[in-house]
Structure 1
Amino acid sequence: MRKVIAVLGAGPGLGLSIAHRFGREGFAVALVSRTSARHSAYLKELQGAEARAYAADVRDPEALREVLATITNDLGPIDTVYFGPVTADGGGPIPITDAPAATITAAFETLVHPAVDLVNAVLPDMLARDTGTILIPGGLSGKYPIPMLGALAPASAALRMYVLTLNAALKDRNVYAATLTIGGLIQGGDIHTTATQTYPDVPLPTLNPTDIADAAWTLYVDRAVPEAEFSAIPLPA
């Protein structure tokens, strides 16, 4: 019986690579992004897999629940969700030494709150069916002090711990949560594209999304550990 993966916050980098990897394994793929502008190109790239695309702002709890219900109606119960609604707008990180409380709070609202809304939306059905997987990527600054990422670090740490704690809370159930801890720019993604255009002569810490998607599949199959880590950023000794 074929399963369904919902790739929420789908973009041309990691989201599409996750869709390719799971689609290759026979999953029906639902791509969700804020607009439908690039959906035809995404679906063309996924030829050979059963795939549909939906426009919704998944950071809006009501819109999130509506699109999940539509996917379920169109394709069937959602087995796996990948949640990565990241954008290249908003400017660069503010140094932690200069960050007011409002900036820290805004990072929580951007990174943590939507992930909690996602879990609240999908987990009850997964528990009722006694099956499911939740994959949520996060930043390396949530695990190691990386001053250049500034005020994003507290929210990244909270998101990572939220997923790890969720994994522990579900250890006796057939529902699995894991995080992909990422330190670097995803090749082909919007943030990577913006950065290379802005700094054309600067070597950028870049990661291959295919490698990360392969690791996501391994997490899904093995269900042995709650985290896979990837870094193109030199860490302090």
Structure 2
Amino acid sequence: MSTIAVLGAGPGLGMSVARRFAKEGYAVGLVSRSADRHPGYLEELSPSGVRAVAVAADLRSAGGAARALAEITSKLGPIDVVYHGPGAHDLSAASVGILETGSDDIRRAVAETVEPAAEVAGLVLPAMRSRRSGAVVYVSGLSALVPLPFLGPYAPASGALRTYARTLAAAAAEDGVHVGSLVVGGLIERGDIHRMLTDLTTPTAYATLDPDELADAVWRLASGEEQELVFDVLTQPGR
């Protein structure tokens, strides 16, 4: 049985990815910062009949990723696919526009965004390259492709993450490993931010993305059908 590690398991895209891969028979390892929701997530996956575990870990803390991935491996076996989709650590920083963003702000945003991605790659790619199979899918924001000044330091950080994923893909392909880039521009339905905003106003006030559709995209990226997929309802509504 193959195993996926879902790094950034939340009620929106993270769990849609978990269900999509469970449908294909994958064992599922869920990782999020808090264990509060884990019983509900595991119950949600139980009808699929696949093995599933949940680990509470902060991927941005020292040793967090290594501990989480080691626990998943010990319980489910070697990890074949990693979905890397943790959200921003401090969304309040995104309220600072790019003109007010300083070098320290950018340094922190890149540390929160790119450093965990590189740490995860360092932990899983050696075994995948040795087996000549496996996949890592990274999620970045639309500001990696489109100027979005209101995102402040997270705009260049998203660009750096996308560039890292694309460059890693070019290097790992010769070893049979797929590295995919999913670029998301829009509010993801059922996610925490979507729920928070729709509690304050009407759901139709925001252009949204279906997490199940995005999960299908993650599947295509992990299987090597595509190297990058872009979903943009911010600047191109109706796409």
TM-score by length of 1: 0.93
2:9 is paired with a residue of what secondary structure?
coil
Q: Over aligned residues, Cα RMSD in angstroms?
A: 1.8
Aligned-pair CA distance for 1:201: 7.5
- Residue 186 of structure 1 pairs with residue 188 of structure 2: yes
Aligned-pair CA distance for 1:125: 1.4
Aligned-pair CA distance for 1:58: 1.6
Aligned-pair CA distance for 1:65: 0.6
Q: Structure 2: which 5+ residue stretches go unaligned?
A: none
Partner of 2:134: 132
Partner of 2:103: 101
Which amino acid in the other structure matches residue 164 of structure 2? Y
**Contact 1:61 1:114 (8 Å CA) reproduced:** no
1:172 is paired with a residue of what secondary structure?
helix
Alpha-carbon distance between aligned partners in 2 of 1:219 and 1:108, rounded to the nearest angstrom: 24
**Contact 1:137 1:181 (8 Å CA) reproduced:** yes
1:136 is paired with a residue of what secondary structure?
strand
**Contact 1:9 1:83 (8 Å CA) reproduced:** yes
Partner of 1:18: 17
Aligned-pair CA distance for 1:225: 3.0
Alpha-carbon distance between aligned partners in 1 of 2:203 and 2:16, rounded to the nearest angstrom: 27
Which amino acid in the other structure matches residue 32 of structure 1? V
> How many equivalent pairs are there?
234
**Contact 1:88 1:194 (8 Å CA) reproduced:** no
Q: Give the 5 Å matches for 1:17-166.
A: 17-47=16-46, 48=48, 49-87=50-88, 89-91=90-92, 92-166=94-168
Q: Sort the Cα spacing of 1:88 and 1:196 in 2 relative to 1 into closer, same or farther, 3 A.
A: farther
Q: Which moved more, 1:60-69 or 1:3-12?
A: 60-69
Q: Structure 1: which 5+ residue stretches go unaligned?
A: none
Aligned-pair CA distance for 1:196: 2.4
**Contact 2:137 2:221 (8 Å CA) reproduced:** no
1:11-33 CA distance string (max 9 Å, x none)? 11100000000000000001011
Aligned-pair CA distance for 1:169: 0.8
Q: Sort the Cα spacing of 1:45 and 1:6 in 2 relative to 1 into closer, same or farther, 3 A.
A: same
Q: Sort the Cα spacing of 1:213 and 1:139 in 2 relative to 1 into closer, same or farther, 3 A.
A: same
Which amino acid in the other structure matches residue 83 of structure 2? Y
Q: Sort the Cα spacing of 1:104 and 1:198 in 2 relative to 1 into closer, same or farther, 3 A.
A: farther
Q: Which moved more, 1:72-81 or 1:84-93?
A: 84-93
2:6 is paired with a residue of what secondary structure?
strand
Alpha-carbon distance between aligned partners in 2 of 1:40 and 1:175, rounded to the nearest angstrom: 32
Q: Aligned residues: percent identity?
A: 43
1:67-113 CA distance string (max 9 Å, x none)? 21111111100000001111585324311111111111111011111
Q: Give the 5 Å matches for 1:195-234.
A: 195-200=197-202, 203-221=205-223, 223-234=224-235
TM-score by length of 2: 0.92
**Contact 2:89 2:112 (8 Å CA) reproduced:** no
Aligned-pair CA distance for 1:202: 7.2
Aligned-pair CA distance for 1:217: 1.1
Q: Which moved more, 1:68-77 or 1:200-209?
A: 200-209
Partner of 2:2: 3
Aligned-pair CA distance for 1:50: 2.0
Moved over 6 A (4+): none
Alpha-carbon distance between aligned partners in 1 of 2:191 and 2:161, rounded to the nearest angstrom: 21
Q: Sort the Cα spacing of 1:66 and 1:88 in 2 relative to 1 into closer, same or farther, 3 A.
A: closer
- Residue 177 of structure 1 pairs with residue 157 of structure 2: no
